[in-house]
Chain A
Amino acid sequence: MLKIENLHVRVEDKPILKGISLHIKPGEVHAIMGPNGSGKSTLSHVLAGRDGYEVTAGTVIYKGKNLLDMPPEERAREGVFLAFQYPVEIPGVSNVYLLKAALNAVRKHRGLPELDAFDFLQMIKAKTKLVEMDEKFLYRAVNEGFSGGEKKRNEILQMAVLEPSLCILDETDSGLDIDALKIVSDGVNSLRSADRSFILVTHYQRLLDYIKPDQVHVLAQGRIVKTGDASLALELEERGYGWIDQTMGEAA
């Protein structure tokens, strides 16, 4: 699904990612943890194609294609989805309108016809149920005046509608109350399938109780400093990141 090799990224001449390598197979869930400012969102943004990042070395191959060559809209249509750490408010554009425009763009790319109004509405309603969102939110402007948790849920709604192949969730669990965390996790789990992969960026082991990862990576200062299975997250929860610094020190 995704092969990142030796990825180096700069922002405004400041090196942020310093040689990331990551292989994700179809159906796998990878968690990325790590201290604030270590580069987790940077990696997410680079994968989604945001401007302002300079890739100075390395490659990213997605489904056999060079991801870095594609403009962001094409990545989205090819099935890459980023749930933003800080979803953007778009006054004046209704949620339902964005969903329709996005879905049709993606369907067109896949050679599928536009959904008619009836089918679209049925589908959207089913998906709002999945994330237990009130249908009223569909007709509100995208994220405008949404609470932190509502914005995160809205990201998952968009993901459920677009049915991507690679889902990158950047701290979708931050700011969620306990019930919402369960709802969002259930939503993600219901989307898990053999041909869909996930990158979960998170600070909390709690999320991984609900969504069981195949691998857990620790990102620190722009590098993946440790990789393990689900138990690594537990260990981090107990011992913090200091312990990793130590083991790194020993390795050096």
Chain B
Amino acid sequence: MSATSYIERYQSIANELPGYNLPWLNAVRQLASGSFEATGFPSPREEEWKYTNVTALEKKLFAPSSISTPSTIDKEWLETHVLADTWTLVMVDGYFDSKLSDLVGLTDKVIATGIAEALQSHPDRVKALLGTTLEKESHGFLAFNTAYFSDGAFIEIPANVKLQKPLQILHISTRNEALANTRSLVGLGRNAEAKLIETFIGLPNISYLTAAVTEIHLAENAVLDHYKLQVETDKAYHFGGVYVKQDKTSHFYQHNLSFGGLLARNEIHAELATAAECEMNGLFLAKNRQHVDNHTLIHHVEPHGISRETYRGVLADRARGVFQGRIVVHPQAQKTSAEMNNRNLLLSEDAEIDAKPQLEILADDVKCSHGVAVGQLAAESIFYLVSRGVDRETAKNMLTFAFANEMVEKIGLDSLRNKVQDHLLNIFPQTGIRRDWL
């Protein structure tokens, strides 16, 4: 088994890939393709992929969709996933769909479009951003993505612009056995401010592969709230990476909500310059045979950076979870403050979690802490609820819901928080919790 079948598929549509006429991009793609050919998808032999085996992908062969045969999307279904009062960029099977997108009223100072289109209209801007956050990264999925991305979002918010409404990138998969491979680029100029939501969904019951890479560059003092809501189908494979380069005093607030997918790998990596601030919040839920892997990495490369990371996981049935959180404080990064906390709830004896915090501290004047906990619901809490007349099952569900909901409550965006709570209620239908009681 190897990656060659994927490579062959893509070679046959090479001249459909965006920017195929741009020599610099072709060179980048060729390098990446060569690297992917050599390594294939990541293997569990690699330290960073120890707990997640994606070799199944090489046996399955998900096929890239062609832009020439677009799917029709049921509008009503789509509406249920669009957040109210946002500008939206819709990606269907890996291609930007301008008709489904809504950017009405967005100031023309901002570029927000598909990357294929941006390569036509602003090739230099794309060139300036593409790959800049991936210098410290390398694995088969990234090479694969660079070599073959079919489209993605391109968002550039110039200096001093503060977006009035959030932007939502809605990634939709519509075809069974298909593959959506997108690269999105997000750049915020000095003092710019924005909120960005990336939502991943698929039509009910289909099996597919999402490979989505988002590169984010935050210039000095820029502020970005980034939310990732991964609610792929329970037969989907999801690889989603978010890579952030933070210039000095910039702020990056991230919420990683991972509920769907048969196998999901979320990578959130950030590199912080002087006095930059980074917050990473994560909630992952898995049941049945779902496998969810969260891989976070924070590089403090300059002094006075602040990072706070809080992840919670809930695993039921035979689900498997991974939290690999790494913080590297480089020698120059004095006065860094870094906190990491990960708590996991195992709801069944067959559920498993690998929780691996890693702190590499190479500076001496820093404040760093980390804590990891794995446990079951507290018996005394269950008894307290039961002693009030609530049945055991409901009591457990209430406590589980509460454990997860505490992370959801941190979401500052009302419309998204409500949507996420809806998802939670669906995942724990037995709670009997109703919206109006929350």
Q: Which residues of A contact B (CB under 8 A)?
A: 48-51, 71-73, 75-77, 81-82, 84, 87-88, 90-94, 96-98, 100-103, 105-106, 109, 117, 141-142, 158, 162
B388 at the interface (CB under 8 A from A): yes
* B406 within 8 A of partner (CB): yes
B392 within 8 A of A: yes
Residue of A nearest to B380 (CB): A88
Chain A's nearest CB lies how many Å from the CB of B316? Answer: 17
Q: Would A102 and B379 count as touching, CB distance under 8 A?
A: no
Interface of B (DSSP majority class): helix
Stretch at the interface among B146-154, B163-171, B395-403: B395-403
Contact check, A162 vs B402: say whether CB atoms are below 8 A apart: no
Asked if B379 and A93 make an inter-chain contact with CB atoms under 8 angstroms apart, the answer reads no
The secondary-structure label for the interface of chain A is helix
For residue B389, CB closer than 8 A to chain A, the reply is yes
Residues in chain B near residue A81, CB distance under 8 A: 387
21 A–B contacts, CB within 8 A, in A order: A73-B386, A73-B392, A76-B386, A76-B389, A81-B387, A84-B384, A88-B381, A88-B383, A90-B385, A90-B402, A92-B399, A93-B402, A98-B385, A100-B437, A101-B385, A101-B432, A102-B388, A105-B394, A106-B389, A142-B384, A162-B388
Chain A residues with CB under 8 Å of B406's CB are 91-92
Residues from chain A with a CB closer than 8 A to the CB of B436 are 117
Q: Which residues of A contact B432 (CB under 8 A)?
A: 101
| Minimal Cβ-Cβ distance residue in B for A84 | B384
Known: A72-B386, A92-B402, A93-B402. 16 other contacts (CB 8 A): A50-B387, A51-B379, A72-B387, A73-B390, A76-B386, A76-B387, A77-B389, A90-B402, A91-B406, A93-B385, A93-B399, A94-B437, A96-B437, A97-B438, A105-B389, A105-B394
Q: Does B433 contact A (CB under 8 A)?
A: yes
**A73-B391, A73-B392 given as contacts; is B386 within 8 A of A101 (CB)?**
no
Q: How many angstroms from the CA of A71 to the CA of B395 in the assembled complex?
A: 14
Chain A residues in 8 Å Cβ range of B383 = 50-51, 72, 88
Chain B min CB distance to A69 (Å): 16
Measured in the bound complex, the distance between the Cα atoms of B399 and A71 in whole Å is 19
Contacts of A71 in B (CB 8 A): 386, 392
Distance between A106 CB and nearest chain B CB, rounded to angstroms? 5
Chain B residues engaging chain A, CB cutoff 8 angstroms: 379-381, 383-392, 394, 398-399, 401-403, 405-406, 409, 432-433, 436-438
Q: How far is the CA of A109 from the CA of B433 in the complex (A)?
A: 19
Determine which residue in A51, A90, A117 has the highest number of CB atoms from chain B within 10 A of its CB, and name it.
A90
When chains A and B are docked, how far (Å) is the Cα of A48 from the Cα of B383?
A: 9
With a CB–CB cut-off of 8 A, which chain A residues contact B409? 92
Q: How far is the CB of B196 from chain A (nearest CB, A)?
A: 27
- In this complex, what residue of A is CB-closest to B398? A93
Q: In the docked arrangement, what's the CA distance between A97 and B406, Å?
A: 15
State which of B389, B402, B403 has its C-beta within 8 Å of the C-beta of A102: B389
A-B pairs, 3 with minimum CB distance: A92-B402, A76-B389, A102-B388
Report yes or no: A101 in contact with B398, Cβ–Cβ below 8 A. yes
Query: Are B384 and A97 closer than 8 Å at their CB atoms?
Result: no
Decide yes or no: A105 and B390 within 8 Å by CB, A51-B379, A90-B385, A97-B433 being known contacts: yes
CB <8 Å contact, B438 and A94? yes
Contact of A162 with B384 at beta-carbon distance under 8 Å, contacts A90-B402, A92-B403, A101-B398 already known:
no
Task: Give the residue among B387, B390, B438 with the most A Cβ atoms within 10 A.
Answer: B387
Residues in chain B near residue A51, CB distance under 8 A: 379, 383
- Considering the complex, give the chain B residue whose CB is closest to the CB of A48: B387
| Chain A nearest CB, measured from B393 CB (Å) | 10
Contact at B388–A158, with CB atoms within 8 Å? yes
Name the residue on B nearest A92 (C-beta). B402
Question: Which residues from A are CB-within-8-Å of B388?
Answer: 76, 98, 101-102, 105, 158, 162
Residues of A within 8 A of B380 (CB): 88
Q: Do A101 and B384 contact each other (CB < 8 Å), given the known contacts A91-B406, A92-B402, A92-B406?
A: no
For the complex, give the distance between the alpha carbons of A102 and B389 in Å: 5
- How many Å from the CB of A185 to the closest CB on chain B? 22
Report the Cα distance A162→B390, complex, angstroms.
Answer: 12
Known: A73-B392, A97-B433, A102-B390. A92 touches B385 (CB 8 A): no
Q: Return the contact of B391 from the options A50, A82, A105, A141 (Cβ within 8 A).
A: A105
Complex CA distance for A91 and B345, rounded to whole angstroms: 14
